[in-house]
Chain A
Amino acid sequence: MQFFEREHLRSIFTKPTNYINTNRGKEYYDNLYKKMEKRLNELKAQQPVREAEIKFQELLETWELSRRDFLKWVSATTAMLMLPPQFEPLVAQAAEVMNRVPIIWINIQDCAGNTEALLRRASPTVDELILEYLSVEYQEVIMAAAGDQAEENLHKAVKDFDGKYLLFVEGSIPVGMPEAFTIGRHPKTGVEHVKHLAEHAAAVIAVGACACFGGVPAAHPNPTGAVGVMDIVKGKPIVNIPACPANPANITGVIIHYILTGELPELDSLLRPKFAFGYRIHDNCERRAHFDAGEFVEEWGDEGAKNNFCLYKMGCKGPFTFNNCSIVRYNEGTNWPIGVGRGCIGCSEPDFWDKYATERPLADSDIQPPGLHGVEAAVDEVGLGLLTATVIGIGVHAVASAIAGKKDETNEEQ
């Protein structure tokens, strides 16, 4: 087992990384705070998108949610955005002015999985925040309108909110075979549909592995020539929220960040928000202690599996995968794949079906595992807190972390 020797492990975990800078100093946060306050005041002065404004407080009551439930959500979201706790009041205010930003959500070559994941989040439900309070002008899976009426609604939303709406795209776009996605009375191809709606949007948010990097449809041999949004939309700010499905918390996070700053969050080279994709699954994995102790599951169902040992040798791609699901998890934090002993498949990385999927032995792969620090260095620097991070959850990160208001150059706001 030469591959798993200490020296080898050290070498693969010491590649440069795109780690987020989590210590920006008091001055930085003070300025950010002022900037966000100004932006929120501007939004408060604006009219809500929809005519009949519902008060946020009333909404919480009709959903039978307590203020306490809401504050819990605020605190988790603040931490996820890597903002220090003093930003919590601002995040709470941001949720309350969400109805100033119109949203259009379209599905191209999708499986509706990201929409479903979003619908399955609760407490205080994003159903409430997104569907009701946030002004979703068009979402074909949940809207009541169908047929011509739906098409009219979309036209109207584009006209009324020209240059102001956030366009969410779910699913890949088949550039190699336009016939693989056509829609409407006057059939439009996926490419035309996305380009047209992107042109009139303030920013485009690609949700899920398919919309970001082509996803499963783009796996070899890519029968329909599927690509992600960033391959066909140019000259617009784009955010990628990959994973399969994208974690709803990250979707909400991007929206809240946009409301707080009027800008997209700081992005990595793959246009992923750093607050969610700035560190590896491995960094906060609940099985990390077993990795450090050299305790691995060797085959399904063995003693190691029963004792929740590390899944690295079973093909887990946690050390290679940038995502926050080891902290945020899925279905309201109920669980995640590593929690049931399956290992990570690297679904927030490009081309993971062909490169990362379970049946790709790491030894044969040409994956360049990123990582600024070695395994030991990471433990030394962050301290043992890292090992208990999943227990304390999101809170640990809140203290040391922060987002940046800085924009990526290629994503300059129009």
Chain B
Amino acid sequence: MAKIQKTVLNRVEGEIELKLLWENGRIKDAFIIAPNFRGFEFILEGKPPLDALVINPRICGICGHAHLIATVKALENLYENAGENIEIPEKAKLIRDLTLSSEIIQNHLRWFYLSVLPDFLKLDKNPKLRKYQPIKGSQWRKGLDYSSKIVKVVAIFGGQWPHTSYAIPGGVTSDPTTFEVAEAIAIVSSVLDFYEKNILGMPADKYLSVKNLDEYLENAKSSDLKAFLNLCLKHNLHKVGKAYHRFLTVCDISPSISKGTTKRKRKDFDINKVKEVDAYSFLTEKGFSFDKNRYSWAKAVRYDGLPYETSPLARRINNRDELFLNLVNDFKDSYMVRTWARIDEVLKLLLSMKKWLSQIDIKETSYIKPKKDVKELEGKAFGFCEAARGSLIHEIQVKEGKIKKYNIITPSTWNLGPRCPDYLSPAEKAIKGLKSSLLAEMVLRSFDVCSVCTTH
């Protein structure tokens, strides 16, 4: 009979634990445990709807801005559902997309340099990798530097980062000047320059015509992405970490992100097919339960009854990016492809940001007052947003000027949530069958672990 050994890898990042069951040197089963809980959904109940705009960004210190956008969109959807036309100025839309994109970019840069590359130091003894060493490595520092730099764009338009609250139903409160727009353009250009030289190893337009892995590796100069891909090939990371090969994206950020679901074929996203399952969660429909089988504060979320991966890779697939359709064809949704998608997205967003910044008309108003006070509205509404890690859904129910119920489905709930009676979560599935705990940890990181918002 096979021997089962239990290994706990706690604190993979923030506070996530990974429990592994071993059999014959392979991982037989994996449990992803989110051990922390704060209870935002309960705190929001009974509060005035606009309070959600200051409370929700605090769900996460990394993706707080995405939570603000999801909240404001949910409130705007409340108007639409009540038959009230709500107008958002073009300028406000551009500013929201700009700040959201900078938050996503800062996250990806930070994650690539602070979380992904240092793992390879444990896997590979090549002294050339020292530049990726935490704190001391030159590239590690550059990654941190540029992720700090891009976040200033959020501060310019949103006041501060983390935890901005400048978006309101009807637009944004900020009225940027030409000087501020110019400052943002300078920041974006310098990050793009860093990205081309250090990460891509080729000019952006040349990279955009790349169709597959070999073509990239042949043409790229020495760069961090090239080094990463070669390390993946050397250590077989293009073959491991496969999840369900089903991808979900809930909203558009034109032109780089388009909503949809892909299960072999691409279809539209339908919110009515989303269900949360609490069979293995401490948080249940009726309250709290600490039964033996329950192991995480997160719930499982299923689309049409099935687990879907939501991530930059899902966005690339649903956006029909040729490079990634080819990569998934060649290597499936493996560690290498999932990680590359996150890095690839930085470029798409930087280029979009450049375009949006040139489109801002500072003479236009930032806010159009809705015809009714939000407190006069009642009903149920949804806010959809693409955050760094994937798709974010906020659901609000308002009655008599107060929040009656608030439900949040974070990107990490999709990927790192617990299992349901029928399926493991995508990350649990991706870890199953691996031969080392380091690999398990790396595959878990390829989903960009964030526990704080998983449980909110």
Residues of A bordering B, CB below 8 Å: 62-63, 107-117, 119-122, 125, 127, 131-132, 140-144, 146-148, 150-151, 172, 174, 177, 179-185, 187, 215-217, 219-224, 226, 244-245, 299-301, 305-306, 329-332, 334-342, 345, 353, 357-359
Contact among A114, A181, A353 for B36, CB-based, below 8 A: A181
Shortest Cβ distance from residue A63 to the other chain B in the assembled complex, whole angstroms: 7
- Closest chain-B Cβ to A146's Cβ sits at a distance in Å of 5
B168 to A127, Cβ gap below 8 A?
A: no
Q: Point out the residues of chain B lying under 8 angstroms from A215, CB to CB.
A: 58
User: For residues 411 through 456 of chain B, which have their beta carbon under 8 Å from a beta carbon of chain A?
Assistant: 437, 441, 452-453
State which of B23-31, B42-50, B322-330 sits at the interface with chain A.
B42-50
Q: Can you report 13 residue pairs joining A to B where beta carbons are below 8 Å apart?
A: A111-B59, A112-B61, A119-B144, A140-B15, A147-B11, A177-B288, A185-B8, A217-B43, A224-B37, A226-B38, A244-B58, A335-B158, A341-B166
- Which of B148, B155, B172 contacts A335 (CB under 8 A)? B155
Residues of A within 8 A of B383 (CB): none
Could you tell me the distance in whole angstroms from the C-beta of B185 to the nearest C-beta in chain A?
Answer: 15
Min C-beta distance of A297 to chain B, whole Å: 9
Given A172-B38, A358-B165, 15 other A-B residues pairs in contact with their CB atoms under 8 A: A116-B61, A117-B162, A122-B149, A142-B134, A181-B15, A185-B10, A217-B43, A223-B38, A224-B39, A331-B151, A332-B152, A335-B155, A336-B159, A340-B159, A345-B165
Q: Are B12 and A146 in contact (CB under 8 A)?
A: yes
Interface centre among B10, B64, B171, B369 (most CB of A within 10 A): B10
Q: Which residue of B lies closest to A151 (CB)?
A: B10
Bound together, the chains give a CA A114 to CA B60 distance in angstroms of: 11
**What residues of B have a CB within 8 angstroms of the CB of A244 in the complex?**
58, 163
Q: Report if B367 contacts A (CB, 8 A).
A: yes
Question: Are A179 and B10 also in contact (CB < 8 A) when A63-B141, A117-B162, A331-B152 are?
Answer: no
Assess whether B281 is interfacial by the CB under 8 Å rule: no
B13 within 8 A of A: yes
Specify the chain A residue showing the minimal Cβ separation from B136.
A132
- B residues near A, CB below 8 A? 8-15, 17, 35-40, 42-43, 46-48, 50-51, 53-55, 58-62, 64, 110, 114, 118, 121, 134-136, 138, 141, 144-145, 147-149, 151-152, 154-166, 168, 170-175, 282, 288, 290, 297, 365-369, 437, 441, 452-453
| Distance in angstroms between the alpha carbons of A335 and B161 in the assembled complex | 9
In the complex, the answer to whether A335 meets B160 with C-beta atoms within 8 Å is yes
Q: Which residues of B lie under 8 Å from residue A183 when comparing CB positions?
A: 10-11, 15, 17, 35
Q: Which of B43, B121, B288 is the most central at the interface, judged by chain A CB atoms within 10 Å of its CB?
A: B43
Q: How far is the CB of A314 from chain B (nearest CB, A)?
A: 9
From B59, which residue of chain A is reached at the shortest CB distance?
Answer: A111
* Bound Cα distance from A180 to B34, whole angstroms: 10
Asked if residues B174 and A340 are in contact (CB atoms below 8 Å), the reply is yes
Contact between B36 and A180, CB atoms less than 8 A apart: yes
- How far apart are the CA atoms of A174 and B134 in the complex, in Å? 32
Give complex CA distance A179, B455 in Å: 13
Residues of B contacting A142 with CB < 8 Å? 114, 134-135
Q: How far is the CB of B167 from chain A (nearest CB, A)?
A: 9
Do A245 and B162 touch (CB < 8 A)?
A: yes
Residue of B nearest to A325 (CB): B160
The answer to whether A334 touches B58 (Cβ under 8 A) is no
Are the C-beta atoms of B282 and A179 separated by less than 8 Å?
yes
A334: chain B residues within 8 A (beta carbon): 152, 155-156
Known contacts A146-B11, A334-B156; is A359 also within 8 Å of B38 by CB?
A: no
Q: Are B141 and A127 in contact (CB under 8 A)?
A: yes
B32 CB to nearest chain A CB (Å) = 14
Given contacts A109-B36, A117-B162, A341-B173, contact A122 B369 (CB under 8 A): no
How far is it, in angstroms, between the C-alpha of A79 and the C-alpha of B108 when the chains are bound?
Answer: 35
Tell whether, in the assembled complex, residue A331 and residue B160 are in contact, meaning their CB atoms are under 8 Å apart. yes
Whose C-beta in chain B lies nearest to the C-beta of A113?
A: B61
In the complex, what distance in Å separates the CA atom of A345 from the CA atom of B68?
Answer: 15
Q: Would you call A359 and B48 a contact (CB within 8 A)?
A: yes
A-B pairs with lowest CB-CB distance, top 10: A113-B61, A223-B39, A301-B367, A330-B160, A340-B174, A331-B155, A147-B9, A334-B155, A111-B61, A341-B173
A49 to chain B, nearest CB (A): 14
Bound-state CA distance A340–B144 (Å) is 26
* Docked complex Cα distance between A290 and B158 (Å): 22
CB-defined contacts of A305 to chain B, threshold 8 Å: 173, 175, 367
Name B174's closest neighbour in chain A (CB-CB).
A340
Say which residue of A120, A143, A329 sits within 8 Å of B134 (CB atoms): A143
Q: SS class of chain A's interface: helix, strand, loop or mixed?
A: loop
Instruction: Let me know if A122 and B51 touch, CB within 8 A.
Output: no
Cα distance, A337 to B160, chains bound together (Å)? 6
- Bound together, the chains give a CA A217 to CA B14 distance in angstroms of 17
Answer whether A120 and B148 are a contact pair too, CB < 8 Å, given A111-B61, A113-B61, A301-B367: yes
Please name all residues of chain B whose beta carbon is closer than 8 Å to the beta carbon of A337 when the two chains form the complex.
Answer: 159-160, 164-166
CB neighbours (8 Å) of A220 from chain B are: 43, 46
Contacts of A306 in B (CB 8 A): 175
Query: Complex formed: what's the CA distance from A132 to B62 in Å?
Result: 22
Closest to B58 in A: A216
Complex CA–CA separation, A245 to B366 (angstroms): 26
Complex Cα gap A254–B282 (Å): 39
State in angstroms the CA–CA spacing of A114 and B61 once bound together: 7
- Contact for A358 among B39, B54, B154, B367, CB less than 8 A: B54
Chain A's closest residue to B8 (CB) is A185
Which chain A residues lie closer than 8 Å to B37 at the CB level?
A: 109, 174, 177, 179-181, 224
Q: What are the residues of chain A within 8 A of B144 when measuring CB–CB?
A: 119, 127
Flag if A147 contacts B155 (CB, 8 Å): no
- Contact in complex: B173, A357 (CB < 8 Å): no
Q: When the two chains form the complex, which single residue of A151, A179, A300, A340 contacts B158, counting CB atoms closer than 8 Å?
A: A340
A341 / chain B contacts, CB cutoff of 8 Å: 166, 173-175
Take A185-B10, A334-B156 as given contacts and tell me if A359 and B50 are in contact as well, using a CB distance cutoff of 8 Å.
yes
| In the bound complex, CA of A108 to CA of B37 (Å) | 10
Please measure, in the bound complex, the distance between the C-alpha atom of A55 and the C-alpha atom of B40, giving whole angstroms.
46
In the complex, are the beta carbons of A342 and B159 less than 8 A apart?
Answer: yes
Query: Which of B37, B165, B366 neighbours the largest number of chain A CB atoms within 10 Å of its CB?
Result: B37
- The smallest beta-carbon distance between B309 and chain A, in angstroms, is 23
Contact of A120 among B35, B50, B64, B151 (CB under 8 A): B151
Partner of A245, one of B118, B163, B282, B290: B163
Inter-chain contacts of B437 with A (CB < 8 A): 147
Q: Which one, B8, B9, B148, contacts A119 given CB within 8 A? A: B148
Residues of B with C-beta under 8 A to A185: 8, 10
User: For residue A141, which residues in chain B have a CB less than 8 angstroms away from its CB?
Assistant: 13-14
Cβ-defined contact, A330 with B155, below 8 A: yes
User: Closest approach, in angstroms, between the C-beta of A318 and any C-beta of chain B?
Assistant: 13
A119 to B113, CA, bound (A): 13
Residues of B contacting A121 in the complex (Cβ-Cβ under 8 angstroms)? 148
- Given A127-B144, A179-B282, A111 contacting B64 (CB threshold 8 A): yes
- Are the C-beta atoms of A131 and B11 separated by less than 8 Å? no
Known A-B contacts A119-B144, A140-B14, A357-B55; the reply to A300 vs B62 at CB < 8 A is no
The reply to whether B15 and A107 contact each other, CB–CB distance below 8 Å, is yes
Q: How far is the CB of A249 from chain B (nearest CB, A)?
A: 13
Is the CB–CB distance between A245 and B165 below 8 Å? no
Q: Provide the residues of chain B in CB contact with A338, threshold 8 Å.
A: 159
Q: A331 — nearest CB in chain B belongs to which residue? A: B155
Given contacts A109-B36, A147-B8, whether A335 and B290 have CB atoms under 8 Å apart is no
> How distant is B295 from chain A, measured CB to nearest CB, in Å?
11
Inter-chain contacts of B297 with A (CB < 8 A): 180
B369–A116 touching, CB < 8 Å: no
B residues less than 8 Å from A180 (CB atoms): 36-39, 297
